[in-house]
């Protein structure tokens, strides 16, 4: 439930930053719910196919995650943006802008959390 509320707030903030009209509250909940379900489904399907291909080809299994992220991002972008555009009745370019802003906000948050931890790990390794 907390993850869902987090995603709702990220969506609302992304709409404001991208200057896209915010849909009605029930539509916001619908867009977020459907995009979460579709996002997990597409990521799972892509990861399964890549895992199967890597297993058959004998490639290192650790590469599956890296390759999966880069293959899944454009598919996720188009699916989620098309759903947002259809449910919220906004142009596809506006839905794409919201998707990009949302990913940038999450990446910035991750960087803010990860950089001090990385600095601490490097300092500990350097000292001893």
The pTM of this model reads 0.81
pLDDT value of residue 69? 87
How many domains in the chain?
1
Which distant-in-sequence residues (6+ apart) come within 8 Å of 22 by Cβ? 12, 15, 16, 28
Predicted pLDDT of residue 79? 92
Residue 67: the pLDDT is 87
User: Can you read off the two tokens belonging to residue 50?
Assistant: 């890549």
Phi, then psi, of 113 in degrees rounded to 5: -80, -35
Structural domain that includes position 90:
2-127
Identify the segments of the chain with pLDDT beneath 50. Answer: none
């Amino acid at each position: 439930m907390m993850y869902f509320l987090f995603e709702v707030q990220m969506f609302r903030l992304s709409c404001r930053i991208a200057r896209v009209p915010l849909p009605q509250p029930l539509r916001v909940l619908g867009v977020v719910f459907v995009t979460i379900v579709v996002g997990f489904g597409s990521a799972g399907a892509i990861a399964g196919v890549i895992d199967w291909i890597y297993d058959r080809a004998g490639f290192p299994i650790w590469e599956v995650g890296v390759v999966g992220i880069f293959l899944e991002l454009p598919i996720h972008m188009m699916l989620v943006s098309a759903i947002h555009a259809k449910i919220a009745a906004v142009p596809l370019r506006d839905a794409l802008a919201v998707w990009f802003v949302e990913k940038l906000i999450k990446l910035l948050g991750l960087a803010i959390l990860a950089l001090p931890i990385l600095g601490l790990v490097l300092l500990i390794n350097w000292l001893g």
